[in-house]
Amino acid sequence: HSLKSHQIPIFLHHLRVAAELNRPISVHSVKADGILVDILMKEVDEGRKLPPTICLHSFSGSLETLCRIINVVEGRPRNKKERLRRSASNGDDDDVRVFVGFNSWTNLYKVKASQLVHGLVDSTPHGECRLLVESDWNTADFDFEGSDRRDADKILMNSLIDLSSMLGWHPERTARKLSYNTMVFLKQV
């Protein structure tokens, strides 16, 4: 990994401040998902509080890594009864703390995107409650001829359509679910 020596201490500071202030955090871990798992595990093992909710911004790692992150942050099921309780309550969002941000620019266009989306929804507790969309659009970064502030809306709409298509859902259902998930993710704010 080509992590700069200052990145981990700065990330730890942000993570701990978000936990202390009881605020959600968005984490963008490019090619560092294993390191993210290790950091989160160490925080939990040392008895440190984590932020109330964590969005994995533009996540494109493996489903296995995503499940590891969910287990670390939300707690591992201790026994078969706990695993069954969690899988049976797939629509209940009370325990959801890990969300996954998708957008058409960074992770929904990838070859394995549909596999990740289906794995998230079908194979993790509260799967569809974890979906978020993001624009990943900062108008200051994309100030060029022909660009428009409304382009962020187009990116969000394309992401909604892409997720709807992948899941076989009507776009209205997807929009309602994403809206609700966003409110749950931000409920501490």
pLDDT, one tens digit per residue, over 32-56 is 899 999 999 999 999 999 999 999 9
121-147 residue pLDDT tens:
999 999 999 999 998 766 666 666 766
| 99 vs 11: CA distance, rounded Å | 18
Distance separating alpha carbons of residues 80 and 120, to the nearest angstrom:
20
Return mean pLDDT, the chain: 86
Confidence band, pLDDT 50/70/90 cuts, at residue 63 = very high
Residue 91 pLDDT:
44
**pLDDT greater at residue 95 or residue 84:** 95
Q: Is the pLDDT of residue 155 over 90?
A: no
Tell me how far apart the alpha carbons of residues 127 and 92 are, in angstroms, rounded to a whole number: 10
Q: What is the pLDDT of residue 140?
A: 67
pTM value is 0.85
Coil, helix or strand at residue 62: coil
pLDDT over 70, % of the chain: 80
Q: What residues have CB less than 8 Å from 95, skipping those under 6 apart?
A: 74, 86, 89, 125, 126
- For residue 88, the model assigns a pLDDT of 54
99, 56 in Cβ contact below 8 A?
yes
Answer with the residue of higher pLDDT: 182 or 78.
Answer: 182
pLDDT of 147: 65
State the pLDDT at residue 144: 64
